[in-house]
Amino acid sequence: MSVNSISMRGDTLGEEKNSVTLSKDMLYGIVIAVLAGLLILSIFTSGFGIVKPATTYVPPSGTQPTGNQSGTQPVNNTQPAQAVLPALTVSSGKLPALGQASAPVTLVVVSDYQCPYCSRLYTGAESSVKANYIQSGKVKMYFKDFPLSFHQFAMSAAIAARCANDQGKFWEMHDTLFQNQATWSAASDVGPLFTSYANALGMDNSTFTACFNGKQHTAEINADEAEAQGYGVQGTPGSFIIVPKSKITLKAITAAVDAQNAQYGAGALTLYEDSTSYTVLIPGAFPYEAFNGILSQVSY
């Protein structure tokens, strides 16, 4: 075999067969041609069946991707998405309303008859709301019991008010209990005092006494408290202003809540909604101005 050629020869039974001689240049040419063919074939077969995984779409900085990432649906970055309000529906409870049934706005007050801050709310904001909104037929008010365990006679007072309700005198007893809070809170036995209040309001003495001594309506009072806790009330007093969506715009009530929070502290008041109404939670003995800041924006 010479330096520049490769000979392929076979012998069978001593007889010489045909031989093929290839030059080195020709062999290199064949190898190159084969490799080029394989390269072209891999292009059309995606690497012989090995497909590169798709990469994750990363939007350019400062843009907001949408469900359609092909670019056919433009995104308006100048219009911020509207914040979703937390959902809440507050029931008015089983006690009678104060005010006209046709009043469009509902005020639900969660309270404890022995709580000093509840008394402050009663003599302050509630009194002004009654004069300016309830008596004019714009707002109706409901009461929910939330007797705190560390107030010795709070449950007894709630029972007394419920027993008075059995005789159609709920709001009269409600007012009497708050107006005389300092007196009965300091007593050793509230039973005789509450009975005297019932007598003064024209109730049947034996009926009231049987109801009070039997601790009737305790389950309803506990249900009120549990329900209020579910609404986010952690202490007393707590007030819910419920405004139909037909009477105020989201923009107007949001601005009203924001204005109060700017004055009393971020997050002081909380705005909720359901399918028909906006609800504002005012937790604590806030002044009348906080209530009026919301109620004055309603279209009655």
Q: Which pLDDT tens digit goes with each residue over 140-174? A: 999 999 999 999 999 999 999 999 999 999 999 99
Average the pLDDT over 105-122 and give the result.
98
- Pairing relationship of beta strands 11-12 and 15-16 according to DSSP bridges: antiparallel
Q: Is the pLDDT of residue 59 over 50?
A: no
What pLDDT band is residue 297 in, cutting at 50, 70 and 90?
very high
pLDDT at position 32 is 59
pLDDT at 28: 57
**pLDDT reading at 52 higher than 90:** no
Tokens 């024209």 sit at which residue? 202
Q: Which residue has the higher pLDDT, 11 or 37?
A: 37
Query: Distance between CA atoms of 28 and 38, rounded to whole angstroms?
Result: 16
Neighbour count for residue 54 (Cβ, 10 Å): 6
3-state secondary structure the chain: CCCCEEEECCEECCEECCCEEEEHHHHHHHHHHHHHHHHHHHHHCCCCCCCCCCCCCCCCCCCCCCCCCCCCCCCCCCCCCCCCCCECCCCCCCCCCECCCCCCEEEEEEECCCCHHHHHHHHHHHHHHHHHHHCCCCEEEEEEECCCCCCCCHHHHHHHHHHHHCCCCHHHHHHHHHHCHHHHHCCCCCHHHHHHHHHHCCCCHHHHHHHHHCCCCHHHHHHHHHHHHHCCCCCCCEEEEEEEHHHCCHHHHHHHHHHHHHHHCCCCCEEEECCCEEEEEEECCCCHHHHHHHHCCCCC
Enter the pTM of the model: 0.73
Q: Is the pLDDT of residue 15 over 60?
A: no
User: How is domain 105-295 classified at the architecture level of CATH?
Assistant: 3-Layer(aba) Sandwich (3.40)
Mean pLDDT confidence for 212-237: 97
Q: Residue 271: is its pLDDT beyond 60? A: yes
Q: Is the pLDDT of residue 47 over 50?
A: no
Residue 80 CB: number of other CB atoms within 10 A? Answer: 7
Q: What is the reported pLDDT for 84?
A: 87
Average the pLDDT over 259-286 and give the result.
Answer: 97
Per-residue confidence (pLDDT) for residue 5, from 0 to 100:
40
Residue 269 pLDDT greater than 70, yes or no: yes
Backbone dihedral angles phi then psi of residue 239, each to the nearest 5 degrees? -125, 140
Distance (Å) of CA 5 to CA 21, 31, 33: 6, 16, 20
- Residue 93 in this model has a pLDDT that exceeds 60: yes
Tokens of 217: 């309506």
Is it the case that residue 16 has pLDDT exceeding 60?
A: no
Rounded CA-CA distance 162/59 in Å is: 62
CA distances from residue 168 to 96, 154, 159, 215, 270 in whole angstroms, order as listed? 9, 21, 14, 18, 34
Q: Mean pLDDT across the chain, nearest whole number?
A: 82
What is the mean predicted confidence (pLDDT) over 86-92?
A: 97
Provide the CA 12 distance to its chain's centre, in angstroms.
Answer: 96
pLDDT of 20 over the 70 cut: no
